[in-house]
Amino acid sequence: MKRDRERRPVRPFSPARIIAASFLGVILVGTVLLMLPISSKDGEMLHPLTALFTATSATCVTGLTLVDPYTQFTFFGQLVLLLMIEIGGIGLLTLTNFFMFFLHKKLGLRTLRLAQENTNAWSLNNIRSLLHIIVVTTLVIESLGAILLSIRFVPKYGVHGVWVSIFTSVSAYCNAGFDILGNETPFGSLIHYNGDVIVLYTVMALIFLGGIGFMVFQDLLSWRRHRHLMLHTKAMLIMSATLIAVGFLIFFIVEYENPKTLGPLPLFEKINAALFQSVSARTAGFASLDLSQMQDFSKVVMIFLMIIGAGSGSCAGGIKVTTFLVLVMTVVSVIRGRDDTVVLGRRVAKQTVYKAMTIAALGLAAVVMNAAVNLISLPSLSGVDGIFEAASAFGTVGMTAGVTLQFGLAAKIATILTMFIGRIGPISFALALTIRGEGSGGEVLPEGRIMVG
């Protein structure tokens, strides 16, 4: 006798689909605006695919681009870029919900759950305070960053330096990696600022703060009252410091005598450049070195860092730092014969472990497929560089080995899709494509055994 399985109704407007649609909407509007002749300095309409690529990169806070933002775009075009970066970093739904709260509009349960999904909040109870923290801290930190950067850019560029400072601060905090410094060297990023402590360390601080996640901010702000930090906050801070330190040591040692990267620089600038590259590699995409000239081993390390990404609920992409930590500690637990994954003396829920594995599997699949398209469409591309570009897109990092401009149609489309997946998250992307409603209907199935290993 067949047993009917309960199925939940299809939800055409599930949280995952709404989040994906919000980003897609911003991308499409941005594409149209960038195509307008008023956006380009040559007064011509930008090619639709180039506009779509740039709009996706800005909204998904990646930084990969087919044109130099300074030489290509007018002030209007750069303003459109900046707005897409800000909206993409904070999230359109987050901004919308914040202003609804600000205007004292009552939000329904469905809207609150959507806000919870979009911000990675633990519960519905702290949504209001979290939205407030996200918007206020973003504005305060970006303003402070712009003020510090103006110390260097205003004397150098005059009134235009104010705009350069604002753009760079927002781009750094949102981990976007876009810059409008192309008047010095198109696509040069911050290569000329290795000896500038104000610029380099301000940008590093903005990148770090934008990449740790808004839940960490909320927890740190409440520490004075409770004198207690969540496991997530402790794990995030410890792992971030560890990854930065490891990346710095590897880049400093491997590139120390490379005549095309750290080699010609004085010791102080070598330290600055290696540290900056380690901070930027996981999230932002600003470059202090010519990445195309780095050793292959350094590129492999950067691929590893880019896939890991930054913090959950932050502006950045990747599988996320705490996801990587859960995976590592799960392996450690299996080797030690434990049934539970333990992190900093606390047991991690099985659902969290399963989710971490799913995120990693889907993320790696996206990187592999993008890399395959890159290598097929550009046969002269080395394997390391092909994977490097794909990892940069998925991690929404924006670093390039200097081959993005050589991409054909297939590679550009694959990169656009990978940037989108990296920003909204592999699971959200997969859920947005599913036909069935969420949940298993509560059915309990008999257990079976499968040999593994």
Q: What is the mean pLDDT of the chain?
A: 87
Domain spans of the chain, in order of start: 15-433
Distance CA 59, CA 8 (A): 33
Give the pLDDT confidence score for residue 121 in this predicted structure: 61
Cβ burial of 307 (10 Å; 0-12, 13-18, 19+) is buried
The pTM for the full model equals 0.89
Mark out the alpha helices in 158-213 (DSSP H runs).
160-173, 197-211
CA atoms within 13 A on the CB side of 114: 23
Residue 2 has pLDDT above 50, yes or no: no
Among 138, 141, 112, which residue's Cα sits nearest to residue 125? 112
Distance CA 283, CA 176 (A): 8
Q: How confident is the model at residue 332 (pLDDT cuts 50, 70, 90)?
A: very high
Q: How confident is the model at residue 4 (pLDDT cuts 50, 70, 90)?
A: very low
Residue 125 has pLDDT above 80, yes or no: no
Instruction: Indicate the range of 29-33, 103-107, 177-181 predicted with least confidence.
Output: 103-107
Q: What is the mean pLDDT of residues 204-229?
A: 85
Q: How far is CA 311 from the centre of its chain?
A: 9
Higher pLDDT, 118 or 64: 64
Higher pLDDT, 68 or 114: 68
Distance CA 144, CA 39 (A): 28
pLDDT digits (tens, 9 = 90+) for 363-410: 999 999 999 999 999 998 999 999 999 999 999 998 998 889 899 999
Distance CA 118, CA 145 (A): 26
Distance CA 430, CA 414 (A): 16
Q: How far is CA 401 from the centre of its chain?
A: 18
Q: How confident is the model at residue 104 (pLDDT cuts 50, 70, 90)?
A: low
Question: What end-to-end distance do the CA atoms of the chain give, in Å?
Answer: 37
Among 124, 132, 53, 148, which residue's Cα sits nearest to residue 90? 132
- Collapse the DSSP code of 379 into the 3-class scheme (helix H, G, I; strand E, B; otherwise coil) and give the result: coil
Distance CA 137, CA 318 (A): 23
Among 266, 272, 302, which residue's Cα sits nearest to residue 199? 272
370 contacts 285 by C-beta, under 8 angstroms: no
Token pair for residue 259?
């005549």
Give the pLDDT confidence score for residue 112 in this predicted structure: 60
Q: How confident is the model at residue 265 (pLDDT cuts 50, 70, 90)?
A: very high
Distance CA 150, CA 202 (A): 11
